[in-house]
Structure 1
Amino acid sequence: MQLIGMLDSPYVRRVAISLAVLGLPFEHRSVSVFSQYDEFAKINPVVKAPTFIADDGTVLIDSSLILDHLDHQVAPASRLLPEESGARLQALNMIGFALAATEKAMQAVYERNLRPQQWQYEPWVERVQKQMHAAYGHLETRLAGHDGWLFGERLMQADITVAVAWRFTQFMLPGAVDADRYPALAAFSERAEALPAFIGAPLE
């Protein structure tokens, strides 16, 4: 199995961490969709990270689809989404809001860092930031009172995705989301980032 993409992408990073947690061996190829566009296009003409190549050569794109495939490469007891329908629904709720926060943070990064200043549209930036804070507000409420992981004693996909989203936002948009406003999220992310699976997939 091969995972292609840079770990500064939260989508690549959540897959890399999940692979480590699942104990699935893989090769990580740090190919940039920006500086190595042509090289990436030879692997996947859509040039989308993450790109995942299964052992049989099948190419998967989109982190959630990749993670769904990976969850079915292990025994049910080891999967990163709960099997019980109620817990699974709640996990999907958390993952969805974390991915929404990630998407809005990514849009803010593109607007501020890639678009020339004279073409930046402040009402759009304000809207994206409002949506990002709404997502983090929901996650903060859900995390309040949790000293451990969200769905039992072991790390699962909701934990990974929430922690990765928060770290990406703090790293790429310093000062945009005040950690004092979201103490449960900040503490949760700090616990996750201390784990070997997170340390082994550093945000580059």
Structure 2
Amino acid sequence: MEGQILTYTKTLSLVTSLDLSGNNLNGDIPEEITNLLGLVVLNLSQNHFSGHIPISISNMGQLLSLDLSSNRLWGPIPVSLSSLSFLGYLNLCNNGFSGMIPYTGHIMAFDESSFAGNPGLCGAPLAVNCPGDDELNKGPVVNENHDDGNFIDKWFYLSVGLGLAAGPLVPYVMFAMRRPWRDAYFRFMDSFVERISWFGTYRS
């Protein structure tokens, strides 16, 4: 069979391990490789692969180990990688990946050692913040008019208190200073009470 080009179709689902590490392979990672749905181990490390990780890598739902380290891969890490729920080993070190790590789903099971050697990466689990993170992490803006508001509130409550206290005192002072007003007031009150008493007696 040496030298023959063979096309595998019906037996691709039986391939469980593919190790092509330590070669001089270059170019993009072929998207067709993600059709190996039964693949458990994929090792393409220490080659010269460039380009992006295929978004369709999420099709390889049986992967337990993925090693793409020491290549020339670049661009963002696809969010679809987080859907590989059986993945127990991930190594993306020493590439040219950039942008925020999609630290969600199963990717949260891996620490910074899985992403080291990619100066363009940022966000958890790395200690490098992404642009804009500093603004999001700032505390709430302090209202500079807060003290002015307290000052106004204090004056409001003080005014209400003075009004309640002065309400009964004003008529008292006026009646004390003006005897005719005081006499007229009490005559009115006596007449009012007598009318109420008469009305109550009449209804009985």
TM bracket, shorter-chain basis: under 0.3
Q: Which has the larger radius of gyration?
A: 2
Instruction: Report the TM-score, using the length of structure 1 for normalisation.
Output: 0.21
Q: Which has the higher strand share?
A: 2
TM-score by length of 2: 0.21
